Structure 1
C-alpha cells in the first residue's frame, strides 16, 4: 500500500494535464439520446481509461454504447476461498442535459482565481470522469494497485432516468462489496448517503370526439378526464408527507370546437420511503376512469427506488476517516435528487455518492467546479481503492 499523502502530493502536480483532459471531455458534447455523440465521446473516454485499465468494454444501448472498465485487484481469493470478497463498483454517467452547440456559447474556461472551471457539464459530471482517470493514474504512477477488483460503469442515459443504463448498474452491482457514486457532491462538498426516489409516468386518455356545439353530449373529453385524474393524483400526493408530484407536460385535443378524443401527461414523482413509492405508483399505474367511456393507460417511463439515509453508513465513515488523514473535511447528507446509486443503496449494498469534485450550478448557466477539489477527490479515491 502507498502512503495516501503521496497520492495527494502527486495529484497536486498534475493540474495542467487534468485541465487539458477536462477541456477535451467537456468539448465533446453528450446530450442524452444522441447516439452519434455518445459514440465519439465513448471512444475518447475508453482510450484514456485503457492507459491503466485491464480491459474496457462498450456494451450497446438504445442511445449508443455505455462503458465498463475493469481493473484487477492485487488481492484475489486463493484456492481456499480466502481473500477480500467482492469488487468495488464505481458508478458514473457521460450524458449531460445541455443541447449540442452549448459549448460554442459557453466554452470551457478557467477563472482568474486559477481554480474555478466553467462550462456545460464540468460539474455534472465530466469532472468526475477526469477524477477517476486521475485516481487510477495515481495508483499506477506510485506503483500501487487497487486492493480489490474495480469496475467502472459509465451509462449514457442517466439524465433521462437511466431507462437502459440501470440494467447495467444492476448487473455489475451483483457481488459488489462497496459502491462509490461519482456524481457531484452536495453543497460544501458533502457526500450523499441517501437519495429521494423518482419515477416518470406517462398517463394517456382516449375519449370520444364530437362537435363541441352540436353534439357535445355524444363526446367524451379526454382532456376533462385527464384534468380530473391529475386533480385526484395531486390530492393523493398531498396526503403523503414525503411525496411530491409534478406534471411536466400535457398534450391533447385538436381544436376548440371539437371534444378532445386524446390527451396525455408526463408526470414526475418523488418519494423518500417505499410505502409512499408504492402508494403513488399504484395510484398512477392502476387508474380508474371518472367517465364511463374514457379509456386510461399508464406507462412507467423510468423508475428509481428511494435510498433511505443512514447516518451510521459504515462506508461513509471509512471515507471520512481516510479524508481526515489527508486534511480534508468530508460532511454527509441526503439528496433530494436521484441517480443510479438509488438502486444500489436501496438494495442494501454499502453505497456512498457525491465523490465528484465540489462545485455548483448543475444543469444551469452558472455550472462550475473546483480544480483543487478534483485533485483532492482523485487522491481520496486512489487511497480508498488502495486500502479497501
Structure 2
C-alpha cells in the first residue's frame, strides 16, 4: 500500500469488488473488513472495530504529525445494496476510464482513494492533524447501529468529509434531505369473515385507515412519502389478524420533519380492540446548508483549485451519515468519493482517472485544511 499508484489503486478496487458485501451479511462483510483493515494498517492507520451482530464498523486513526487539536473525520461505508452472487451477472470490467462492478461507485472507490491519499501523506512525512475514519457496515439501510458512533466521533471533529459519491460531474454535496424509515404494525382479531365478522377486528382495514391519516398529515408539505412494502392477512374468509407496512419519508425542512414524526408517534387505533405499533427503523435528520459547511466548502474548493481541479457544491436529495453530522452543526461536506454514475443500478460505474484525482485532493486536504484555517485565524 505504501507504493499505492494508479495500477495499485485499480488492483485494490478489484479486490474489494470481488469481496461482495451486502448489508446484513455478516460473513461477507467480515471477509471484506479483514482486507480493508490490513490495507489501512499498511497505509499507516491504527485500526479498531465496533462489533455488531449485523456487521462490524471499522474505526481507523492516522495519528497527528505536527498538528495538534481536533481530528478531521471521514465517513464512508463498505456495505452495498448488491447480494452475494451479483458478480455473475454484473462482472468486474475496465474499459478505458470506465470501471464497472457492484459497489465500485457506492462507494468502494472512495475507500481506495482514501487509503491511497493516506499512504502518500505518510510516505512524504507531511504534517497533518489526526485523521479519523469510520467505515460503516449498515449505511445502506440508514446506519441503525452506526449512528451513535457517528455522533460521538463528530462531536470532537474539526471538520467532517463524506466519502459518498458526488453529484454527476463530480461536484460536492452541502446538504441532504432528512430520511426516515418507519414500520407500522397492526394487530387485529381473527374471526370467520361470514359467520361471525363482528367478532373480529380487521388489521388490514385498520392499517389502510392509518395510511390515510398519514397521507393527510404530509399533504401540502414538501415531504416525500413512499410505501415500500405492505403485507397482512391470509385468507378471504378470515378477518385479518395482522398487517404491517414499511414507509420511507424524505424531508427538506426540519419543521416539517418534526411535525410528521410527532404525528407518527401520536397515531392511535381507529377500531376498538385493534393494537398499533409505529416505530422508526432508521432516522437521518435533515441537513440544511449552513455557514460552517459553506466555509469548509470554500476551503476545499480552494485546495482543489491549487491542484487544477474545478469543484462546486450544492445540496443533494439522497441521505447518508453526513445528515447526522451536518444536522449537529459540524462543518460537513460530502461527495468526495470519485465521480461515476449508476448508484444502486446495474450500470454502476466509476472513473479510473477520478480515483486518482480524488486521491490527490484528499491528500492535499489532509495536509492543507489546517494550514489554510490557521492563515485565516479560525483555528478550524
Report TM bin, short chain. Answer: over 0.9
* Per-residue Cα deviation, 1:14-73 (whole angstroms, up to 9, x for no partner): 221111111000110100001111111011000001013341112201212211110111
The answer to whether the Cα contact below 8 Å between 1:53 and 1:69 also exists between their aligned partners in 2 is no
2:29 to 33, 38, 41: 38
The residue that corresponds to 2:75 in the other structure is: 91
Rounded Cα–Cα distance in structure 2 between residues aligned with 1:234 and 1:323: 45
The residue that corresponds to 2:289 in the other structure is: 309
The residue that corresponds to 1:129 in the other structure is: 111
Following superposition of structure 1 onto structure 2, how do residues 64-213 of structure 1 map, counting pairs within 5 Å? 64-77=55-68, 85-111=69-95, 114-145=96-127, 147-213=128-194
The residue that corresponds to 2:367 in the other structure is: 386
Question: When the two structures are superposed, what TM-score results if normalisation uses the length of structure 2?
Answer: 0.94
Q: Could you list the structure 1 runs, at least 4 aligned residues long, displaced by more than 3 angstroms after superposition.
A: none
* Per-residue Cα deviation, 1:111-153 (whole angstroms, up to 9, x for no partner): 1xx21101100000000000001111221233324x2101010
The answer to whether the Cα contact below 8 Å between 2:44 and 2:119 also exists between their aligned partners in 1 is no
User: Which segment drifts farther, 49-58 or 197-206?
Assistant: 49-58
* Per-residue Cα deviation, 1:91-118 (whole angstroms, up to 9, x for no partner): 000000000000122121111xx21101
Give the superposition deviation at 1:335. 1.0
The answer to whether the Cα contact below 8 Å between 1:252 and 1:264 also exists between their aligned partners in 2 is yes
Rounded Cα–Cα distance in structure 2 between residues aligned with 1:351 and 1:380: 16
Rounded Cα–Cα distance in structure 2 between residues aligned with 1:160 and 1:36: 18
1:295 to 255, 261, 275: 275
Question: When the two structures are superposed, what TM-score results if normalisation uses the length of structure 1?
Answer: 0.92
Give the superposition deviation at 1:76. 4.4
* Per-residue Cα deviation, 1:148-193 (whole angstroms, up to 9, x for no partner): 1010100100001101011221121121000000000011111000
Question: What RMSD in Å do the two structures reach over aligned CA positions?
Answer: 1.6
1:285 to 253, 265, 271: 265
Rounded Cα–Cα distance in structure 2 between residues aligned with 1:107 and 1:172: 36
User: Which segment drifts farther, 357-366 or 131-140?
Assistant: 131-140
The residue that corresponds to 1:223 in the other structure is: 204
Rounded Cα–Cα distance in structure 2 between residues aligned with 1:174 and 1:61: 22
Aligned residue for 1:246, secondary structure, equals strand
Aligned residue for 1:333, secondary structure, equals strand
The answer to whether the Cα contact below 8 Å between 1:138 and 1:379 also exists between their aligned partners in 2 is no
Rounded Cα–Cα distance in structure 2 between residues aligned with 1:275 and 1:340: 20
Aligned residue for 1:188, secondary structure, equals coil
Q: Which runs of 5+ in 2 are unaligned?
A: 370-380
Rounded Cα–Cα distance in structure 1 between residues aligned with 2:43 and 2:20: 24
Aligned residue for 1:51, secondary structure, equals helix
The residue that corresponds to 2:43 in the other structure is: 52
Query: How many residue pairs align between the two structures?
Result: 367
